[in-house]
Structure 1
Amino acid sequence: MDARHYFGAVIPIVTLCCATSSYAQTADVQHSQPGSDTPKGETDVSGSAASLADIVVTAQKRSERLSDVPMSITASSAEQLKDAGVTSTDDLGKLVPGFTFLQGNYGLPVYFIRGIGFSDTTLGVSPAVTVYVDQTPLPFSPMSRGATLDLERVEVLKGPQGTLFGQNSTGGAINYIAAKPTDHLAAGFDLSVGRFDQVDVEGFISGPLTDTLKVRVAVRREYRGDWQYNYVNGDTIGKKNFLNGRAIIDWEPSGAVKLSFSATGWRDKSDVQQEQFQLFRPQNPEDPNPRPVPFPISTYPKAPDNARAASWDPGISFAKNDSFYQFALRGDVDLSDRVKLTNIASYAYFKTHIPLDLDGTIYPAARNSTDGTIKSFSEELRLAGSLGSRLRWMIGGNYQKDRVDESIELSPQIATEVKIGPFFYDDFVATNSQNIGTKSGFGSLDFDLTDRLTLQGSLRYSDQDRKFRGCTRDGGAGDLAAAVSFLSSLITGQTQTIAPGACVTLSDQTGLAVPIVTGELNETNLSWRGSANYKFGDHALVYANITKGYKSGSFPTLPAAAVSQLAPVKQESVLAYEVGSKVDVFDRKLELTAAAFYYDYRDKQLVGTRAVFPFGFLPGLVSIPKSKVEGLELGFRAAPFRGLTIDGGGTYLKTRVLSDPVNPTGPFGSQGSFIGNNFPFTPKWQGIVNANYRFALSSRIDAFFGASATSRSKTTAALFNGDATIAPLEQLLVINGYTLLDLRAGVETADGSLRFELWGRNVTNKYYATNANRISDYVYRFAGMPATYGATLRYRFGQ
């Protein structure tokens, strides 16, 4: 089915928009001035409790009504985030159809939007979904853990966003908007207690220090006891220990100059979630002389379908030690009534230590430890303005410098194929250091051809230089060094000796171990976007967009036997076509959105296999030359009568691989074509519905209750060979669909100053998997959280 069928599906909604133009009041369409906080022409709905309020977003780096922005955006308020229990970016799937999160093989978060994402093992990989706080970048996904603290709202922009939000936004962008300092004294706290000894405390204080200086400080502490148990020996694990803080200082020395300084930091010492053992299967079942594994893993019991059940090595700490801080300074200067200069500079530092059990048993068969640091500096300078009442423009430049250092130690790694000739080895270290410099220039134009028809265009030119140093090292005991020395001697015909702790990665040309592998990847690209949108008064919008976006290439972190395994993968691109509509009807009681889209996806990056002589097929980064995404998205908000609000949405995705990478190899080593396969971690259907009802108990006290349901169809955790039957082994890497139900109820004072709430999440205790994996001889999966329940007390002063 080609894109015409999907674009055709949105025509009834567009027709509805046209038909409802009679509802629209005649009004001039006005736009906000650059950088203004409130768009002109915003509808006043404060007098009707049964009408929908306007949502203001900054998706185009200026404040606009969500209903006026010609792109697919899911915007959620701080209240909605709290109701859904969203405490990190990982949880946004509760509110955003088309969004998927998974924990990667080595514990790092990976985000997908509409099937676009990159599940890599590398700390320094640039994500396909970028994250920002107040337009300040968090350029690597692990940095985003604490971004949800003390927010006004979050905006999730779907589809390529490379022109205004930089390269590497092929999937989309997530922009968190932090709560800002107030011009009066305000304070508040949230205290939550729940199952598994959960105690979460969040508080803030805000107000003016002088007539021109305001400050806001917020702190959050999350604690939870063990929630997983070992189904073999009865041990427990799963503590959460997370501390997060942010301070914002706003200074307005004059009406034309505004400065905002923010300092953010967090520390995470939580236990890593433990996997659920599924199967022991030798990497090469036909090997006549496999390495003997000194544990009875072949008869190890499979984990039950219970979210809490897992298995891990006893006596080992699996607590993370991650930390992050960022300083950012934003300056806005009104050069005239129509021109604004904005500068945003930031420096971020991230450090990680993630220990993992990679076999899911109580035996010391496979453990992993990821250690690394990221240093990131970014600077953006832009001018924005307008000419007359019809033309709005923006021009700017960006510079970013990143340094990523990472080591992944696998020790022990006792598997059937961890041997070279007569030599066995149990540990090794994969290292990856990257220096990344990115320069870009961007601009945009919006022109109102008529009072209702607007044309938009934007582009960004990016130039990135990425330098790499890394290899696989002997773990220090000398076992791997001796094994590779033996192999190198066979290849070269001369006796070779590699010292303990040295690099053991061999040159593909000489067969000798190299002191260090180095490489460079220099790439340029031009992202662009063209859009036309037509407004039917203030109540309906139709639009059509064409967007080209890029995600930069990368060097892998892998146990590389040969230099060619560490070759980079080139940049990928998405050419996206989208048509859509936004309409509100029945006197602002119902708002509908619809979009149909088609993505021409080139050079999709993935962890695959490379042919490496004399080793055969080994892991490496590869590209799928051509693939596609087709889809439909529907959303709604409704206030049918006083006190009741309902919102929700759904996404349908059809993804397909259209051509094969070199040496397409399935997760269990089978050779064959990927053509016709769906993308991994991309459910065909996703849907979300939220309902809230509020009513007065007295003149001072209101009661409320609400429910939220999220649902998605099945997907897979890997690309399989063939497009028809999934083999029995591959069934272990199928992630079944599921539906989750959350409930809440409570009371609140009419002025919102005091609130008490009882809540339950996954109240049916649905068992579901979030990821499945095969590493070495072991197959395992990760389960979603079981039923949790608790209570929250909230107090606000001066709001």
Structure 2
Amino acid sequence: MKPHAVSLALTTTVAAAGVPAVCHAQDSVPVVMVTAQSRNQQIQNVPIAMQTLAGNALKDVGVANLADMDAFVPGLTVDALQSTRPLIFLRGVGTEDYGIGTDSPVGIYTDSVYVGKTGGALLNFIDVKRIEVLKGPQGTLFGRNAAAGVISIVTNDPVERLEASGLVRVGNRGAVHAEMLYNTPLAEGLALRIAAIDQRDNGWARNTFNGQRKGDDGVSGLRAALRWRRDDTDAILGWQHEVMRVSGPPVFSLTGGKIDFGGPSTWVDPRKQALANDASPDAQSRTFDGVTLRVTTPLRHATLSSITAYRHFNTQNWQDNDGSANPAAYIGIGNVESNSTWQQEFKLSGQTGALDWVGGVSAYRERAVQAEKVDLTTLSLDTLIRHAAGSAPYATLTSLAQGIGRASGNGVLQGLSLAGLPWRESIYDRGAYRAYAAYGDMLWHLDPVTNLTLGGRFTHDDKTFSWYNPPRTATELDARLAVMRQAQLFPTAVALKLLTPQQAASLQAVVARNVEFSNAVSSATPFPASRSWNNFSPRIVLDRHLTPDRMVYGSWSKGYLAGGFDALGVNGYYDQELVTNIEIGIKGQLRALGVSYDASIFHYDYTNLQSLILVPGNAGAGVPSYQVVNSDQRATGAELNAQWTVNRIWRLNGALAYLDQTYANYVSPTGVRLDGQPVGAPRLSATAGATARWPLWAGTADFNLMLGYIGARRCNADTTAQGTCSPEGNVDTGAAREKVDMRLGWSAPSGNWGVGVVVTNLTNRQYVTVSTLGAVVGSPYSYVSKPRTIALELRGAL
């Protein structure tokens, strides 16, 4: 973090990330209402470490989705370098497995509907009211995939009054962002709300291989909701649709486009290299549709709520995986996924004497299909096999064919070459999952100032999975190999003592078999597997109001992540993961000063945290392989949030998080024991910023500044050796990150229109994330974050 950023963080005390969901009262502490405990409560009365972000505040500074806001929530990181395969971590816990066989320990919910972690997790925000980030295990109320915490997105419901608004932003690199909202009553107790967005730009990096631009944006989305209310019954039927079409992510060479097996010590700064990506295809896409029905109706002694949801998406992600246009290093990978989910939940809630209780049952069903495709050429195969085994089979066969052709006068063999021919391997996965749960949460008012919360959820997960990896597809290669066989190349080479019989047999086998997806049990027909898990996740919370404006609490909770399957390793599976979390916190207000605050300290032990780790090369062929690894981890941390209404114009907000996360028990796939060493999460993350509104030119001016800081990644012996963590190296991967977003605007006296300027990444910092996948052909690559965007805005409203 640069000195000016530290200074700003200290002088403002706190960050704009915590902008309250309700912040109109300028002379008092704003009241923020949340639903974190399936109850409508003031945030200061919820004994959970959480941070709330207002949808309007995020929209003001150009935050489009979860990936744009992670810097403003200390402890949260969202890696969205591949738009359809985000990796999400909270308090250092997440997963790097993007396959359909697993889930994320960070649960993402939209209007109480689970959205998973893959293609449907990173939709653009449309008409969002607020976002609640709940830290620590939330399994009792949210479910099995909330072991690290929950991100709950709450959208605006239809209201029985006319509302209409829109905005357009036009910025550099052809950026255009448009939003529209229309809300209208249709009849007594019936209202319709429609919101739409369209966001696109031309991309920030020019691909020197073909002259096209990459790093572009292209997303359009629609949300429609119909609300019916009568006799205290409230029903909302909602539909969300989104289409995303962009180029594959730009990846930059770490070796200057050359084949170099020297490792991190020879890497060059990718930000100083030209972009050269030669993969084909090279694109990302997503089509998403979701329908939700929420019904709430009062009963005699309780309130019944029902949530029914169906979601479906198709995604594709094709990209370059060597970061160069060097034909001898060609690797391209494609991921194609289709996913359908159905959810049903029934919940009863009520108050009985000193008890405030919630209970319910839920059912979840998911069907997913995934195809992972690896594209190589015979030239790049020679590169990786030569490095691993000291031989180049396709160059050898080409030399033999041409030599024998010249000696025998066979013109066909003389002109035959096996160099640069396409080679594709695929693995096809299918998953069918069912989950059932029953839960209860009871808030017991022991006395007027003390509450005891007891909760628990029993979950049953049942999963079936299958793998199918057919023989590689190499049509041109097979045609030329057929010519060689017809010309009796191998018997002739043996007869001339150019090859031994063993060498001839080995060459014929190498060019015919898969090198990446090579499991024989699933090469002819799909290989099936099934597993089930049962779990009970409890929580106990004691809170006490020391004064009407100050509460302390202590909690003990357990979390659970369902097991799953390794999408790339046949018959590989993950077992369930368990976490135990202890937390002590305080929440309070200083009304005279306009300050609200909350702080907590916590410790968790995470057992059997499993992930899919890329091992750079196996002993057989040098092709990178993914392996399931499991580790036990522990962490101790502290968090602080505060909001300060300075006066009728200025408001400061902020958050700070400290985390000490280490391995309790872990041996990396490379054989390095990492017990006691850091996992990787930074020790410190923080946000700082300010908002202001003041009269100007008979209208109103507004200003919003949000600064996020994520500390340097903590390296261990394994990540240092691999080069994926080297904040002080010549490629500063894992270095501390800073993000500053800003808006300055003015609204007309009527309030019906306004103008503004919005800047994202104000300081124009670009950061590097390393992938070692291309290292198998001597061409590791990196992702580079997006540069600054400046846009002019015009708003209008009825």
Shared fold (TM-score, shorter chain, > 0.5): yes
Residue 640 of structure 2, aligned match among 634, 659, 670: 634
- For 1:608-757, list aligned pairs within 5 A: 608=613, 619-661=625-667, 664-665=668-669, 670-680=670-680, 682-698=681-697, 700-715=698-713, 720-721=717-718, 731=726, 734-749=733-748, 752-757=751-756
May I ask how many residue pairs the two structures share in their alignment? Answer: 714
Contact 1:427–1:474 (CA under 8 A) maintained in structure 2: no
In the other structure, the counterpart of 2:780 is 779
In the other structure, the counterpart of 1:456 is 453
Contact 1:357–1:368 (CA under 8 A) maintained in structure 2: yes
Partners of 2:593 and 2:572 lie apart in 1 by: 55
Cα 1:784–1:617 shift into 2, 3 Å: closer
Higher relative contact order, chain-length normalized (CA < 8 Å, sep 6+): 2
Secondary structure of 2:764 counterpart: coil
- Greater helix proportion: 2
Is residue 569 of structure 1 aligned with residue 574 of structure 2? Answer: yes
Cα 1:86–1:526 shift into 2, 3 Å: same
Task: Note the C-alpha offset of 1:135.
Answer: 0.5
Contact 2:21–2:54 (CA under 8 A) maintained in structure 1: no
- 1:32-56 CA distance string (max 9 Å, x none): xxxxxxxxxx99996x523221110
- For 1:142-153, list aligned pairs within 5 A: 142-146=119-123, 148-153=125-130
Is residue 534 of structure 1 aligned with residue 497 of structure 2? Answer: no
Contact 2:393–2:511 (CA under 8 A) maintained in structure 1: no
- 1:59-109 CA distance string (max 9 Å, x none): 011111011100011111122111332111212213211110113779511
In the other structure, the counterpart of 2:325 is 362
Partners of 1:569 and 1:630 lie apart in 2 by: 26
Task: Note the C-alpha offset of 1:285.
Answer: 6.4
Letter in 2 for 1:626: D
Cα 1:759–1:284 shift into 2, 3 Å: closer
Task: Note the C-alpha offset of 1:371.
Answer: 0.8
- 1:749-772 CA distance string (max 9 Å, x none): 467543321122222222222554
Letter in 1 for 2:782: R
- For 1:224-623, list aligned pairs within 5 A: 224-230=201-207, 235-252=212-229, 254-279=230-255, 302=268, 304-305=270-271, 310-313=275-278, 316=280, 318-336=282-300, 338-364=301-327, 365-388=330-353, 390-412=354-376, 414-415=380-381, 416-418=383-385, 426-477=423-474, 505-506=518-519, 515-558=525-568, 560=569, 563=570, 566-587=571-592, 589-608=594-613, 619-623=625-629
Letter in 1 for 2:245: K
Partners of 2:21 and 2:655 lie apart in 1 by: 24
Letter in 2 for 1:763: L
- 1:155-191 CA distance string (max 9 Å, x none): 1111111111111111211111111112111110011
Cα 1:88–1:261 shift into 2, 3 Å: same
Partners of 2:50 and 2:639 lie apart in 1 by: 11
Deviates more, 1:734-743 or 1:339-348: 734-743
Cα 1:283–1:167 shift into 2, 3 Å: farther
Letter in 1 for 2:646: P
Cα 1:422–1:697 shift into 2, 3 Å: closer
- 1:441-490 CA distance string (max 9 Å, x none): 111100010111100011111111111111333332277999xxx9xx99
Partners of 1:43 and 1:480 lie apart in 2 by: 63
Contact 2:331–2:374 (CA under 8 A) maintained in structure 1: yes
Cα 1:374–1:529 shift into 2, 3 Å: same
Partners of 1:251 and 1:76 lie apart in 2 by: 28
Partners of 2:673 and 2:590 lie apart in 1 by: 49
Partners of 2:564 and 2:543 lie apart in 1 by: 36
- For 1:28-107, list aligned pairs within 5 A: 49-103=26-80
- 1:593-625 CA distance string (max 9 Å, x none): 111111101001112379999789973443434
Partners of 1:305 and 1:285 lie apart in 2 by: 20
Task: Note the C-alpha offset of 1:720.
Answer: 4.1
Partners of 2:519 and 2:274 lie apart in 1 by: 42
Secondary structure of 1:476 counterpart: coil
Task: Note the C-alpha offset of 1:301.
Answer: 9.4
Partners of 1:628 and 1:301 lie apart in 2 by: 33
Contact 2:84–2:118 (CA under 8 A) maintained in structure 1: no
Cα 1:387–1:587 shift into 2, 3 Å: same
Partners of 2:251 and 2:716 lie apart in 1 by: 21
Partners of 2:111 and 2:612 lie apart in 1 by: 33
Cα 1:671–1:280 shift into 2, 3 Å: farther
In the other structure, the counterpart of 2:12 is none
- 1:549-590 CA distance string (max 9 Å, x none): 0111221222x5xx4xx4101111111111111111042611
Secondary structure of 2:773 counterpart: strand
Letter in 2 for 1:451: P
Partners of 1:542 and 1:466 lie apart in 2 by: 41
- 1:295-326 CA distance string (max 9 Å, x none): xx9999955425x9532117x45232210101
Partners of 1:193 and 1:145 lie apart in 2 by: 23
Contact 1:453–1:534 (CA under 8 A) maintained in structure 2: yes
Partners of 1:44 and 1:504 lie apart in 2 by: 53
Partners of 1:126 and 1:71 lie apart in 2 by: 23
Contact 2:321–2:773 (CA under 8 A) maintained in structure 1: no
Deviates more, 1:112-121 or 1:530-539: 530-539
Secondary structure of 1:142 counterpart: coil
- 1:238-283 CA distance string (max 9 Å, x none): 332111001101111x223221100111000022321121139999
Task: Note the C-alpha offset of 1:150.
Answer: 0.6
Contact 2:87–2:98 (CA under 8 A) maintained in structure 1: no
Contact 2:83–2:284 (CA under 8 A) maintained in structure 1: no
The unaligned stretches of length 5 or more in structure 1 are: 1-41, 287-296
Task: Note the C-alpha offset of 1:329.
Answer: 0.8
Cα 1:403–1:503 shift into 2, 3 Å: farther
Partners of 2:238 and 2:751 lie apart in 1 by: 28
Q: Which has the larger radius of gyration?
A: 2
Partners of 2:770 and 2:589 lie apart in 1 by: 39
Letter in 2 for 1:264: Q
Cα 1:769–1:265 shift into 2, 3 Å: same
Partners of 1:623 and 1:457 lie apart in 2 by: 34
